[in-house]
Amino acid sequence: PNKDGINVNGGKSVADDPCKGRCDHVCVGNDICTCMEGYKLKPDGQRCEDINECLLGSSNCRGGERCINNEGSFRCMREVSCGTGYELTENNDCKDIDECETGIHNCGEQFECQNSQGSFRCVPKTKCGEGFIQDALGSCIDINECVIQTSPCHRGQICLNTVGSYICQRNSVNCGRGYHLNEDGTRCVDIDECKGPEQVCAGHACINQLGSYRCECEMGYNFNSITRLCEDINECRHYPGRLCAHKCENTLGSYKCSCTTGFNLAKDGKNCDDLNECESNPCSQECANVYGSYQCYCRRGYQLSDIDGMTCEDIDECALPTGGHICSYRCHNTPGSFHCSCPVNGYTLAVNGRSCQDVDECVTNKHTCTENESCFNIQGGYRCLSFDCPNNYRRIGQTRCERLLCSDSECLILPLRITYYYLTFPTNIPVLTNIFRMGPSHTVLGDDIEVALIAGNEGGFFKAERTPTGGVLSVERLIDKPQDFQLDLELRLRRYGTVSIYLAKVLVFVTQEKPRVPYNPYQE
């Protein structure tokens, strides 16, 4: 800490405000601040912040409602919607929608609407008589009793449907399947299907039977007693996993085996041998044969294509989600790798090849300062500094001027000592950060110290405050761009009835915070 200076930030005051504008909301006098309803006072006793009633559990939301915090208040919202057929009332309750009364139903002209909780029903206006049934459109259609009832007529009779009813008639002589009437038409005789013009067994042996026939099927076929045909036996379905190692394909009267991708059919026609796909060089870089397939992989700095799984594409490390953190300044992508660069002036690439280190031009003697100037290093550059002591002062050391002995009143009100200080820091440092302290080398009981910024703070970026041992200079407003400041910080020390003035000239150089160039692949 500096023992020869102190800083005060001249704050704006309001003449008619007893708290001088320090309160966010309400001033109650005696430098006491209060907040409006829904807010609470921050620890600094001046600013107010919102009270989160939802987090503190002080809301009055009912069960099934969710609390949402607002600035200075809160509101309750229903967690589950009412659903179809209901609407939300002003009291946050669900009320049934009467679709019939509001006319938003879809019942046709033949129906009338009946409301129900959450829905409605369409009831037909017309009632159908016996022998009829009502369809979806409300029309009456005839019931075919011969189809929907079990034997409505007696044995030996057939059923005939009529509109709204049915009738039963006596059945005539009819021969069953496999028989036909003799020439007299008095009895049924067997039909020899094997001698007919039709090839009933389709190339297989035919054996006639009373009222029927059967086929002696060849190998690979089975006789179907219902369709009376020789049907192919699906060996692949009847003997799964026992005929072929991989895939079985059924054929008429037989079957054949095949293999999945990555295998060749063995000489026995059933088993499958692994195929070494890497012999045909399917991968752009590296290939590894695996059982039934192969795997392409890439060298470092490349990745496998998502399209074909075989081509190796360069990984643009600079464009990855973490690419912005690979290089501290600028990233350059190269095939299979990348490299970092730093600004041309003021920086050099670190040993890790990624970070940029500030070049201390003052130490490396790369500055252009004259013999009468002193070199002061800053981030990414340097400053050549020099100063002259004003009249009635003499220079003591590199950065200090002391007042000469004098007796006139104008001279006595000048500062006893003027000291120059040089500070540098990056942009966007947090507000209220202390950057400089000033105070007497030792304190005595009864000392009265005042600090004030008397020049250089036209933009209000800094403020000076009194401390028990002196004063402190801190950041009042966010500094978001590089700029230089020359601040005059005055300390008045009243000790034993005598006032002594000390002036600190603080030169502040604000530099760009971590210079970085956004990555653009089209510029590479």
What is the tens place of the pLDDT at every residue in 168-221?
876 666 778 888 877 765 678 888 888 888 888 888 888 888 888 888 888 889
pLDDT band at 300 (very low <50, low <70, confident <90, very high): very high
Q: Distance (Å, rounded) from C-alpha 147 to C-alpha 145?
A: 5
* Cβ neighbourhood burial of 74 (10 Å; 0-12, 13-18, 19+): buried
Which own/partner pairs from 104-113 qualify as long-range (CB within 8 Å, at least 24 positions apart)?
A: 108/137, 108/138, 110/137, 110/138, 110/139, 111/138
Ranges 169-183, 415-429, 447-461: which has the least confidence: 169-183
Q: What whole-number distance in Å separates Cα of residue 269 and Cα of residue 285?
A: 35
pLDDT at 258 over 90: yes
Instruction: Supply 48's token pair.
Output: 């107010």
* pLDDT confidence bin for 324, thresholds 50/70/90: low
63: DSSP letter: T
Cα 292 from Cα 246, distance rounded (Å) = 11
Q: Computed from CA positions of residues 318, 320, 326, 328, in that sequence, does the dihedral angle turn out positive or negative? A: positive
In this structure, is the dihedral angle defined by the CA atoms of residues 37, 40, 46 and 48, taken in order, positive or negative?
Answer: negative
Say if CB 146 and CB 159 are below 8 A apart.
yes
More confident site: 515 or 263: 263
Query: Please, which residues have CB within 8 angstroms of residue 234's CB and are 6 or more apart in sequence?
Result: 250
DSSP annotation of 514: S
What integer pLDDT is reported at residue 171 of this predicted model? 60
The residue type found at 399 is T
DSSP state of 479: -
Query: Using CA atoms, how far apart are residues 342 and 348, in angstroms rounded to an integer?
Result: 6
Average pLDDT, the chain: 85
pLDDT at 418: 94
pLDDT confidence tier of residue 6, bands split at 50, 70 and 90: very low
Is the pLDDT reported for residue 13 higher than 60? no
Q: What is the pLDDT of residues 95-132, one digit of tens each?
A: 888 888 888 888 888 788 888 988 988 888 777 888 88
Q: Is the pTM of this model over 0.75?
A: no
